[in-house]
Structure 1
């Protein structure tokens, strides 16, 4: 029995939202600050353009590896703690890049800056823990919007800093911003009590890191190295092999890095698929807009703006995302995350189709880009809401981390696809070949189709998702325990669901291989707990939570089974072999009858089966068909007495050394 510590003073929801939303801005800045300098870095650092591109690739790879690891650690060890660690690493990377002076140190610094990507899923999970329910939708929408404003500000800000103070200034500004945000997190953001202690899955994290690194490196470098080149093909092969090892391992390990069974649930799976597609469509908007604005006037659709001016043209898109954040929150509160996701994707479709036909003025380009950004903001705000409504409270950070990772794979794929199209559909301009507007039009249609596909994915998300009651952050406590059989051995797979006595859902948890579960309760009171394990009758009982007892085991008493009696006539058959087969012929299980002819077999999954009995001496056999649902089944296996054998039968039995088999 463990007593919770005294509640800390309540922090201002507005202050928490502001600090966490600024972390989203910082992440976007880390991803875009070096982009305007890429053409000059080969000269500054005496490297090739391909080498200079590693300044972006290193951050991408580090963020992909860090996000699931940091998010899982946040659920286990504390969310604010992991935010502070990530910010400290990012500040260290910024200082290292500013002071190092060499290409190697710059690459290392940029990789460390990639840890900032984990701030988004961890920050969103803190919002769920600390903010009132009525404010969470708007807060998540604002955080999503700051991603846009950060990307929009990064391009002109980097250009201004570079021209005014030199290239190292962008890293000093990053270090200063990270330091200020770190202090703000420590002073404003409380540490959540919602966490899941346990063993960290080091092996799963290592294999997943290798798979993600190989996959994203192949995607990001495929256009440069050649999609059919040996390094790229080997990287794709390595990613496939590592995932082939990782997936079955995660399904067996007690406390996995990623709960694949939860991830495979339709609400989570479809939301992640939609996130991949929205990420693809969103990134195409930023890439194409800045390129079109900077291309020469001679192309017929370019405007020949410099980097700073082109970046300033992106600011309206970012500001529109902030302005529409309350709209996103309102759609989520009134109609749910599913409707918000479909609305956002629909707005993106309108924006991209408009960009196909309206492109001959800077005003139209800005309007088209802004419409796409507004749709992105609405869709991005819906994704964490859908994820958090479909996973256990104690897994919100890791689930949001996976969703962020899926979005980053979408953006990386978008970058590779855009580069491939723009370099293959070109027109001559003097001695150079530049992308034609047909290339831009092709990508606009690709992004519109990706947005439409995300609408299709959203259709398959269940309309009714979990609506958990709001709970004060100081009152929400995690209760742990085990689901056990009467002999106290752990039962798995099993699920524990907690409801209010009025029937409203509170939380749920899938047990690990040791039978352990963790659920978050909003405070003392009576709750209805339902425990269900495969092959056992479910248990439902009222749990009177006193706010102090944080350990509670649940015992299931009735095992579901197939049972019956084997007999010849009226005489029981001891030691008979009873076998259960699927109707399609696969073996399921075998048992022997006791001295009274009684047998039992664990109840299999619902379906059609065949159960057989084989006499141990006479080899007389009996078979019966049965249909299994979720209830115990009684099947008696009875055969008639053997008739007297004829001479021919005795002769045949003598030749084969056995008895004739009769049903």
Structure 2
């Protein structure tokens, strides 16, 4: 990396955050956590959207955003190196705002999906937020600033469900979509007014367009085939063609990346055992943790219709109240995990999180019929999710050098997005096995929810087993001096 201007991080005086830095910090916090808000609100709105538009394809309401985000991430990181992180962040926010507007104004489901796809351009902004924080804050404040930005997930976990309840119960899914428009517009204003451009630039090298197209196209094609497997039949030629074609494109991507002079992703990083095992494990666990909530949202908000739908028919506000203790626990556990990672082997802590999540979702497969069951069993799952959310970035820090951090974050985030999309798609496939279509809308029976919870538990167990592959690495407190830790 090269710098085209003097970085402010070394020249600022004082011992704390001034007004300018506080406003910058708030602006970056809002940009980073907006994706979490979007995911939570959209997840809660999908049940009402499915009924309103009478669609059996509600899975794509969330999937299309994740797929677009995964597809463009490598190109975004390259553009940020060449043209500046703030410029790219502003461009992504403008595109996200355009997508939100299209979705809010949509009168049919196809147009709504187009809007959600365009809004997916906003997804990679999280990686750029942490990168620009390292560039524009004084060196003594980079750690506290990054911690504050990451800790904002606690505010989303605590307040997001109640915001969702207020919007959905009072204004319907349109209220949610218009709130996303306002929230993204505010993010754009904050970026333009309070966030300076990063002085750091990367070397100008050719863009690996072929690699990016093979990666994004392969992932999209394979996941589309998995989603259509139930409709087309798992032995159908079309199903095999899409899944097989997507996998072939991914193989070609690996070949291309190994031969081009300037690949989108440095796959050589994955030849080191500590790196590839951490990426694999964190992608499985975090991808599952962030997708498994789909089952709870559909279970709680889908209507109760005898022989047709075994949803619990809660209001969004009631669902928020049920989940409030678990949300508080996630925040507490996340904070504690950050402190424990300085004293204990991160692999052991992550294994505890994986085991707790697996046990919680396995129990939810049997005990998900009453408010009491959801609240009590949800606490066990919350412990695991809190540990996973806090420890994934710690593990990445522990296995790469500071110079590799940004690229490693991008690669891990892409893999996590792939697993999130895959698990989400499989959840809807499992639900559909025990689903009923009535008046154009797919509803789900209790067996579907049971099997979906078990599917999530199985992925958490897979993540638990993969932890055994990770070799011993230096702890977080040993990796803070800027040294390579592998």
Q: TM-score range by the shorter chain?
A: 0.7 to 0.9
2:124 matches 1:121: no
Post-superposition shift, 1:103?
Answer: 5.0
Post-superposition shift, 1:365?
Answer: 0.5
Conserved? CA contact 2:86–2:197, under 8 Å: yes
Q: The residue matched to 1:258 in structure 2 has which SS?
A: coil
2:106 matches 1:97: no
* Separation (CA, whole Å) in 2 of partners of 1:469 and 1:433: 51
* Separation (CA, whole Å) in 2 of partners of 1:109 and 1:125: 28
Post-superposition shift, 1:372?
Answer: 1.7
Q: Structure 2 matches for 1:23-38, cutoff 5 A?
A: 23-35=31-43, 38=46
Post-superposition shift, 1:423?
Answer: 3.8
Higher normalized helix content (fraction of residues): 2
Residue 293 of structure 1 corresponds to: 300
Post-superposition shift, 1:433?
Answer: 8.9
Residue 371 of structure 1 corresponds to: 380
Post-superposition shift, 1:226?
Answer: 3.7
Conserved? CA contact 1:138–1:325, under 8 Å: no
Q: Which stretch shows the higher mean deviation, 181-190 or 33-42? A: 33-42
- Aligned-pair RMSD on alpha carbons? 4.0
Residue 411 of structure 1 corresponds to: 420
* Separation (CA, whole Å) in 1 of partners of 2:130 and 2:405: 9
Conserved? CA contact 2:357–2:385, under 8 Å: yes
* Separation (CA, whole Å) in 1 of partners of 2:343 and 2:149: 15
CA gap 1:122/1:376 in 2 versus in 1, 3 angstroms: farther
2:433 matches 1:424: yes
CA gap 1:18/1:362 in 2 versus in 1, 3 angstroms: farther
Q: The residue matched to 1:49 in structure 2 has which SS?
A: coil
Post-superposition shift, 1:16?
Answer: 5.5
2:181 matches 1:181: no
2:352 matches 1:343: yes
Q: The residue matched to 1:272 in structure 2 has which SS?
A: helix
Q: Structure 2 matches for 1:625-636, cutoff 5 A?
A: none
CA gap 1:64/1:349 in 2 versus in 1, 3 angstroms: same
Q: Structure 2 matches for 1:7-86, cutoff 5 A?
A: 7=8, 9=12, 12=17, 18-35=26-43, 38=46, 41=49, 49-50=55-56, 54-86=60-92
Residue 268 of structure 1 corresponds to: 275
Stretches of structure 2 lacking an aligned partner (at least 5 in a row): 437-441
Q: Structure 2 matches for 1:604-615, cutoff 5 A?
A: none
* Separation (CA, whole Å) in 2 of partners of 1:62 and 1:3: 31
* Separation (CA, whole Å) in 1 of partners of 2:311 and 2:104: 35
Conserved? CA contact 2:427–2:455, under 8 Å: no
CA gap 1:153/1:354 in 2 versus in 1, 3 angstroms: same
CA gap 1:352/1:48 in 2 versus in 1, 3 angstroms: closer
* Separation (CA, whole Å) in 1 of partners of 2:160 and 2:222: 24
Post-superposition shift, 1:353?
Answer: 4.5
Q: The residue matched to 2:204 in structure 1 has which SS?
A: coil
* Separation (CA, whole Å) in 1 of partners of 2:198 and 2:461: 38
Post-superposition shift, 1:286?
Answer: 1.4
Conserved? CA contact 2:396–2:409, under 8 Å: yes
**Which of the numbers 223, 228, 240 marks the counterpart of 2:235?**
228
**Which of the numbers 435, 440, 456 marks the counterpart of 2:445?**
435
Q: Which stretch shows the higher mean deviation, 32-41 or 110-119? A: 32-41
* Separation (CA, whole Å) in 1 of partners of 2:198 and 2:315: 46
Conserved? CA contact 2:3–2:200, under 8 Å: no
CA gap 1:291/1:63 in 2 versus in 1, 3 angstroms: same
Post-superposition shift, 1:99?
Answer: 4.2
Question: Which structure's relative contact order is higher, taking Cα pairs within 8 Å and 6+ residues apart?
Answer: 2
Q: Structure 2 matches for 1:435-584, cutoff 5 A?
A: 435-436=445-446, 439-465=448-474, 506=483
* Separation (CA, whole Å) in 2 of partners of 1:324 and 1:187: 35
CA gap 1:281/1:467 in 2 versus in 1, 3 angstroms: closer
**Which of the numbers 204, 207, 219 marks the counterpart of 2:226?**
219
| CA radius of gyration, larger in | 1
* Separation (CA, whole Å) in 1 of partners of 2:134 and 2:7: 21
The alignment's TM-score, normalised by the length of structure 1, stands at: 0.61
Conserved? CA contact 1:24–1:119, under 8 Å: yes
CA gap 1:38/1:372 in 2 versus in 1, 3 angstroms: closer
2:322 matches 1:313: yes
CA gap 1:49/1:180 in 2 versus in 1, 3 angstroms: same
Describe the superposition over 1:456-476 as per-residue Cα deviations: whole angstroms up to 9, x where unpaired: 3223323224869999xxxxx
Describe the superposition over 1:278-300 as per-residue Cα deviations: whole angstroms up to 9, x where unpaired: 14542464133234435649799
Q: The residue matched to 2:342 in structure 1 has which SS?
A: helix
* Separation (CA, whole Å) in 2 of partners of 1:93 and 1:410: 24
The alignment's TM-score, normalised by the length of structure 2, stands at: 0.80
Conserved? CA contact 1:42–1:52, under 8 Å: yes
Higher normalized strand content (fraction of residues): 1
Stretches of structure 1 lacking an aligned partner (at least 5 in a row): 472-503, 510-663
Q: The residue matched to 1:313 in structure 2 has which SS?
A: helix
**Which of the numbers 202, 206, 213 marks the counterpart of 1:206?**
213
Post-superposition shift, 1:384?
Answer: 2.2
Describe the superposition over 1:357-378 as per-residue Cα deviations: whole angstroms up to 9, x where unpaired: 6545312312322432332232
Residue 256 of structure 1 corresponds to: 263
Residue 352 of structure 1 corresponds to: 361
* Separation (CA, whole Å) in 1 of partners of 2:40 and 2:229: 21
Post-superposition shift, 1:250?
Answer: 0.6
* Separation (CA, whole Å) in 2 of partners of 1:232 and 1:151: 38
